[in-house]
A and B are shown apart, each in its own frame.
Chain A
Amino acid sequence: MTSETIREQTDSPEETERFGETFAKKLHNGMTVLLFGELGAGKTTLTRGICRAFGIGIVKSPSFVMVNIYSGQGIDIYHIDLYRVPELDAETAGEIGEYIWNDDAIKIVEWAENLPDDILSGEIVSIKIKRISDNEREIIIEEN
């Protein structure tokens, strides 16, 4: 197994979104993108960029409903948000697993630290967004 780490810096939310749009070229059906970063880091912004690359215009925070499903150009994206689930029990994990295990979509998971490791399978990319200043972010990508 090869592992590659990429580091990028963005200077504004717009640039974070554009970065997501460029990064989306590496994604294909079945892959799971895990997003890590504190409140306001730009997880939803980056997701919006990824979705834009697939022609999906409206990307909202799924914090309330846990999962938003978008249909883009030839691809479905499951936008999962575990903000409200700091302690995921077996039952909810199973519910989330139904989305994660689906190979016919790209899965993007916000607050991925709340996701139990044993749920993951297939190709996974981890993205950490770190705050440098009010507008600057460091984006660290690990591909496995």
Chain B
Amino acid sequence: MIVLGIETSCDETAVSLFDGNSAIVEIIYTQSVHSSFGGVVPELASRHHIKKLYPMVKSALGQSKITAADIDAIAVTAGPGLPGALLVGATFAKGFAYARNIPIVAVNHLEGHIFAAKLGCEIEPPFLALLVSGGHTEIAKIIDWGEYKTLGATRDDAAGEAFDKVAQVLGLPYPGGPEIQMLAEQGNPNLINFPRAMMKSGNLDFSFSGLKTAVINLLYDWGADKVQKNIEDISASFQEAVVDTLLGKLKIAVEETGIDTVAIVGGVAANERLRIKSKEMGWNVCIPPLKYCTDNGTMIAAAGYFHLQKAETTSLTFSTKPNWELDEI
């Protein structure tokens, strides 16, 4: 069975031809146009998806020597994400499915990230997933494939959003994660004791807004020159606060559920410091390869493939859901 996976929820246009185990061919296009705007510009994202998607599908077919007639089903991200961007992928997928008369699965983007763990590691439920990206920060219990319970989530900003906004405050380009990580390698993570919020809140929720404000306050207190001179130490200390908070909450989740197999997925899972420190926690840690941490089409195809096996297909009349939560699957 060959599944075409399509992902256009944010600034990556991604397609994958998936055979049920692995990708036959996968193509990801990241929109660099956004860096000059300090963030993803939603309309630009939609326009680029429109321009890129069809040629990318054609190219994937060409590279794999698979014809459109060989595709058995199509899986597409229906949410959460930017409304316009989601619409491009969903509309293309519906057209394709209708023309070829093949089933379609509307995939939840967060479930896709959970399936990225299956692509990267030998992992079976039950396990815990820490899902961290520009738009999401949550801990979910994977009771079984297809059956999820959100245990905690951010109350304000996502961890990746904190990286992006702090990078902007520090005058660094977008996306902020790689920039801060690079500077942090040369810095002292213990120089500034930034807040680790809600560690004693008694729940598994996160808050990163206060950490962002703490960096802004430092900019006011120190002045721009001193901040620039110490930018490596500030980056390292900020990154350490994010990593400590994520792993601190995950530790509580491990203790409360008794489940010590954890998957760390989403764009922030690309962070080297998070990768290293998570492996020192004494858990069975699964972090997918970098290409499956950031948004990709293969994880969407893999989630779609799972639902197809259970005959869970979606009607062609489905609507995209920009605020679709994991527990609503």
Binding site for B on A (CB under 8 A): 13, 38-40, 44-45, 58-61, 63-69, 83-89, 91-92, 95, 131, 134
Contact = CB atoms under 8 A, between A and B. Distances in A.
A63 B43 contact: no
A131 to B, nearest CB: 8
Nearest to B39: A84
A86 B323 CA distance: 22
Nearest to A42: B213
Contacts of A89: 43
A91 B135 CA distance: 23
A134 B220 contact: yes
B40 interface: yes
Contact of B41 (A58, A64, A68, A85): A85
A31 to B, nearest CB: 22
Given A39-B165, A40-B213, A84-B42, A65 B80 contact: yes
A85 B42 contact: yes
A60 to B, nearest CB: 6
B214 to A, nearest CB: 9
Contacts of A95: 83-84
B168 A67 contact: no
Contacts of A83: 39
B141 interface: no
B5 to A, nearest CB: 22
Contacts of A84: 37-42
A37 to B, nearest CB: 12
A21 to B, nearest CB: 16
Given A64-B135, A83-B39, A85-B41, A39 B216 contact: yes
B271 interface: no
Contacts of A131: 220
Given A39-B212, A40-B213, A95-B84, A65 B39 contact: no
Interface in B295-323: 322-323
Choose among A40, A58, A89 the residue with the greatest number of B CB atoms under 10 Å from its CB. Answer: A40
Contacts of A92: 42-43, 84
A65 B135 contact: yes
Contacts of B291: none
A61 B158 contact: yes
Contacts of B12: none
A86 B38 contact: yes
Contacts of B46: 91
Nearest to A68: B323
B217 interface: yes
B295 to A, nearest CB: 12
Contacts of A45: 209
A22 B227 CA distance: 38
Contact of B83 (A60, A63, A67): A67
A132 to B, nearest CB: 11
A66 B86 CA distance: 13
Contact of B168 (A39, A64, A85, A88): A39
A43 to B, nearest CB: 10
A67 B322 contact: yes
B155 interface: yes
B140 interface: no
